């Protein structure tokens, strides 16, 4: 049986070797590399903490906090943007409520929603609090990504306990109620 398994995998390795040998890397196939670099992306201003926080605060009415941790409110929800420059990470979080006050069935539905209806945002629990959140590498974040993240996480907070939706689309297996 083992030789058969290797016989099935060998054409895949041969194909990958030919792609490398012929110089058909990601850029040649019209895809960007893992670093997000492509010939047309050099004009996009890289995201840094200051720029990210300026974009965030421009969309909020009132903010508190300082560099690395900013808080505001949207539709009665506390919203936070937390950044870690040394590790090139950012986190956008919308506080939903205490996890110990939520029916366990709702928490299970929340986890299923992370697969089917949250798009780029997610639900999570930290220190006994349920959040909708968005995590990303700061340097590759675009302004469009950040604006979408704000919209999605706020919508996830609004729809917690009902549709658990980011508001963008629903993705799921056929027959699971997901749209394609």
Tens-digit pLDDT profile for residues 125-165: 999 999 999 999 999 999 999 999 999 999 999 999 999 99
- Burial of 65 by CB count in 10 Å (0-12 exposed, 13-18 middle, 19+ buried)? middle
155, 165 in Cβ contact below 8 A? yes
Model confidence at 121, pLDDT cuts 50, 70, 90, reads very high
Inter-CA distances, 82 with 2, 60, 94, 96, 137, Å: 50, 15, 11, 17, 12
Between CA 52 and CA 34 the distance in angstroms is: 22
What counts of helices (H) and strands (E) characterise the chain?
4, 6
Model confidence at 5, pLDDT cuts 50, 70, 90, reads very low
Residue 51 is encoded by which pair of tokens? 């720029």
Q: Can you tell me the mean pLDDT for 100-108?
A: 94
Q: What pLDDT, on the 0 to 100 scale, is given for residue 130?
A: 98
Between CA 47 and CA 85 the distance in angstroms is: 11
Name all domains of the chain by residue range, CATH numbers in brackets: 1-35 (no CATH), 49-158 (3.30.1460.10)
Q: What pLDDT, on the 0 to 100 scale, is given for residue 6?
A: 42
User: How confident is the model over 25-38, as pLDDT tens digits?
Assistant: 333 333 333 444 44
Statement: residue 123 has pLDDT above 60: yes
109, 164 in Cβ contact below 8 A? yes
pTM for this structure? 0.71
């Amino acid at each position: 049986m083992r030789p058969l398994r290797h016989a099935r995998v060998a054409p895949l390795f041969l194909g990958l070797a030919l792609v490398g040998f012929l110089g058909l890397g990601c850029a040649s196939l019209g895809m960007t590399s893992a670093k997000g670099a492509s010939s047309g992306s050099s004009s996009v201003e890289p995201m840094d903490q200051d720029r990210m926080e300026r974009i965030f605060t421009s969309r909020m009415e009132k903010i508190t906090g300082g560099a690395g941790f900013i808080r505001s409110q949207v539709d009665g929800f506390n919203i936070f943007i937390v950044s870690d420059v040394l590790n090139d990470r950012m986190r956008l979080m919308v506080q939903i409520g205490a996890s110990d006050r939520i029916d366990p069935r709702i928490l299970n539905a929340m986890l299923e929603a992370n697969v089917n209806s949250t798009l780029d945002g997610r639900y999570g629990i930290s220190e006994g609090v349920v959040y909708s959140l968005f995590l990303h590498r700061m340097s590759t974040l675009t302004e469009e990504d950040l604006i979408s993240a704000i919209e999605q996480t706020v919508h996830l907070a609004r729809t917690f306990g009902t549709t658990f939706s980011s508001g963008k689309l629903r993705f799921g297996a056929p027959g699971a109620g997901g749209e394609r």
